[in-house]
Amino acid sequence: MAIAPPRGDTAANGTQVILSGDSMTINMGPQHPSTHGVLRLVLDLEGETVTRCEPVIGYLHTGFEKTYEEKTYLQGVVLTDRMDYLAPLSNNLGYALAIERLLGIEAPPRATVIRVLLAELTRINNHLVWLGTQALDLGAMSAFFYCFREREVLLDLFEMMSGARLMTSFIRPGGLMADLPDGWIERAESFLREFPGHIVEYESLLTENEIFKERTIGIGILSPEQAQALDLTGPSLRACGIPWDLRKLAPYCGYETYDFAVPTLTGGDVYDRYLIRMAEMRESTKIALQAIDRLPTGPVMTADRKIAIPPRAELATSMEALIHHFKLVSEGFKPPEGEVYTCIESPKGEIGFYLVSDGTGKPYRCHVRAPSFINLQSLPPMSVGGLVADLVAIIGSIDPVLGEVDR
Amino acid sequence: MTGGDIIEAVVKSLIIIVALLTAFAYMTLYERRILGRMQLRSGPNRVGPAGLLQPVADGVKLAFKQAITPRGVDKPLYLLAPAISVVTALSAFAVIPVGPTYNIFGRAIPFHLADFNVGLLFVLAMGSLGAYGIVLAGYASNNKYSLLGGLRAAAQLISYELALGLSLVGILMISGSLSLTAIVEGQARGLWYILVQPLAFVIYLISAIAETNRAPFDLVEAEQELVGGYHTEYTGLRFALFFMAEYINMVTVSALAATLFLGGWHGPFDLLSGPWWLLAKIILILTLYVVLRATLPRLRYDQLMRLGWHWLLPLALLNVVLTAIGITLLQ
Question: Is it the case that residue A288 has pLDDT exceeding 90?
Answer: yes
Strand partners for A301: A175
pLDDT at A21: 59
Mean per-residue pLDDT, B71-83: 86
d(CA A134, nearest CA chain B) in Å: 10
- One domain for residues A167 and A202: yes
pLDDT at B1: 63
- Contact flag B227-A141 (C-beta cutoff 8 Å): no
Interval A16-39: pLDDT, tens = 444 455 788 888 878 887 777 788
d(CA A198, nearest CA chain B) in Å: 14
The size of the A-B interface in CB pairs under 8 A is 104
Contacts 24+ apart (CB under 8 A), A58-66: A58/A406, A59/A30, A59/A402, A59/A406, A60/A402, A60/A403, A60/A405, A60/A406, A61/A406, A61/A407, A62/A403, A62/A406, A62/A407, A63/A407, A64/A368, A64/A407, A65/A366, A65/A367, A65/A368, A65/A407
Which residues of chain B are within 8 Å of residue A142 when distances are taken between CB atoms? 38-39, 294-295
Interval B310-319: pLDDT, tens = 888 899 999 8
Q: Give, to the nearest 10 degrees, the angle between helix A142-162 and helix A109-137.
A: 160
| Coil, strand or helix at A366 | strand
CB B305 within 8 A of CB B159: yes
Interval A58-85: pLDDT, tens = 888 888 989 999 999 999 999 998 888 8
- One domain for residues A51 and A141: no
Average pLDDT, chain B: 83
CB A257 within 8 A of CB A93: no
pLDDT at A143: 87
Q: Kindly give, in sequence order, each residue whose CB lies less than 8 Å from that of residue A229, ignoring residues fewer than 6 positions away.
A: none
pLDDT at A114: 93
Distance (Å) of CA B37 to CA A226, A366, B40, B44: 45, 48, 6, 11
- Among the listed residues A369, A370, A59, A340, the one whose alpha carbon sits nearest the alpha carbon of residue A173: A340
Nearest to B224 among A9, A139, A390 (CB): A139
Which residues of chain B are within 8 Å of residue A212 when distances are taken between CB atoms? 297
Distance between CA atoms of residues A133 and A145, nearest Å: 10
pLDDT at A316: 87
- One domain for residues A15 and A154: no
Q: Is the ipTM of this complex over 0.95?
A: no
- One domain for residues A52 and A75: no
The answer to whether residue A392 sits within a structural domain is no
pLDDT at A3: 44
Peptide bond before residue B216 is cis, with ω within 30 degrees of 0: yes
Interval A245-286: pLDDT, tens = 898 888 988 899 999 999 999 888 899 999 999 999 999 999
Question: Is it the case that residue A6 has pLDDT exceeding 50?
Answer: no
- One domain for residues A19 and A38: yes
Give phi and psi for A42, each to the nearest 5. -100, 115
Return the minimum-mean-pLDDT range out of A160-174, A291-305, B112-126, B284-298.
Answer: B112-126
DSSP string, A142-160: HHHHHHHHHHHHHHHHHHH
Distance between CA atoms of residues B304 and B219, nearest Å: 9
CB B137 within 8 A of CB B81: yes
pLDDT at A2: 43
| Closest residue of chain A to B71, computed from CA coordinates | A12
Domain carrying residue A27: 7-56
Helical residues (DSSP H) of B212-235, grouped into ranges? 223-226
Distance between CA atoms of residues A94 and A84, nearest Å: 12
Nearest to A34 among B74, B151, B224 (CB): B224
- One domain for residues A90 and A184: yes
Distance between CA atoms of residues B156 and B154, nearest Å: 6
Which residues of chain A are within 8 Å of residue B294 when distances are taken between CB atoms? 141-142
Nearest to B39 among A10, A137, A142 (CB): A142
Best of B41, B225, B233, B310 to mutate (most A CBs within 10 Å, chain A):
B225
Distance between CA atoms of residues B221 and A193, nearest Å: 41
The answer to whether residue A240 sits within a structural domain is yes
- One domain for residues A159 and A200: yes
- Contact flag A215-B72 (C-beta cutoff 8 Å): no
Interval B262-301: pLDDT, tens = 877 777 776 667 778 888 888 999 999 888 888 888 888 8
Which residues of chain B are within 8 Å of residue A35 when distances are taken between CB atoms? none
Q: SS3 string of A232-273?
A: CCCHHHHCCCCCCCHHHHCCCCCHHHCCCCCCCCCCCCHHHH
CA angle B17, B96, B161 (to 5 degrees): 100
The residue among B21 and B105 whose pLDDT is bigger is: B21
- One domain for residues A297 and A185: yes
The count of domains in chain A is: 2
d(CA A166, nearest CA chain B) in Å: 22
Q: Kindly give, in sequence order, each residue whose CB lies less than 8 Å from that of residue A241, ignoring residues fewer than 6 positions away.
A: A224, A264, A265, A266, A268
CB A176 within 8 A of CB A301: yes
- Contact flag A390-B227 (C-beta cutoff 8 Å): no
User: Do you know the residue count of chain B?
Assistant: 331
Nearest to B294 among A24, A142, A215 (CB): A142
Distance between CA atoms of residues B154 and B214, nearest Å: 15
- Contact flag A26-B144 (C-beta cutoff 8 Å): yes
CB A88 within 8 A of CB A172: no
Residues of chain B that touch chain A, judged by Cβ-Cβ distance less than 8 Å: 35, 38-41, 71-74, 139-142, 144-145, 147-148, 151, 215-216, 218-219, 222-227, 293-303
- One domain for residues A76 and A34: no
Mean per-residue pLDDT, A108-137: 92
- One domain for residues A35 and A109: no
Is A24 buried (19+), middle (13-18) or exposed (0-12) by CB count in 10 A? buried
pLDDT at A10: 44
The answer to whether residue A268 sits within a structural domain is yes
Which residues of chain B are within 8 Å of residue A41 when distances are taken between CB atoms? none
CB A37 within 8 A of CB A61: no
- One domain for residues A50 and A69: no
Q: Model-level pTM greater than 0.90? A: no
| Closest residue of chain B to A137, computed from CA coordinates | B224
Which residues of chain A are within 8 Å of residue B71 when distances are taken between CB atoms? 8, 12
d(CA A261, nearest CA chain B) in Å: 30
Neighbour count for residue B116 (Cβ, 10 Å): 12
pLDDT at B23: 86
The answer to whether residue A394 sits within a structural domain is no
Distance between CA atoms of residues A108 and A98, nearest Å: 16
Band the pLDDT of B144: cuts 50, 70, 90.
confident
Neighbour count for residue A323 (Cβ, 10 Å): 12
- Contact flag B300-A215 (C-beta cutoff 8 Å): yes
- One domain for residues A94 and A45: no
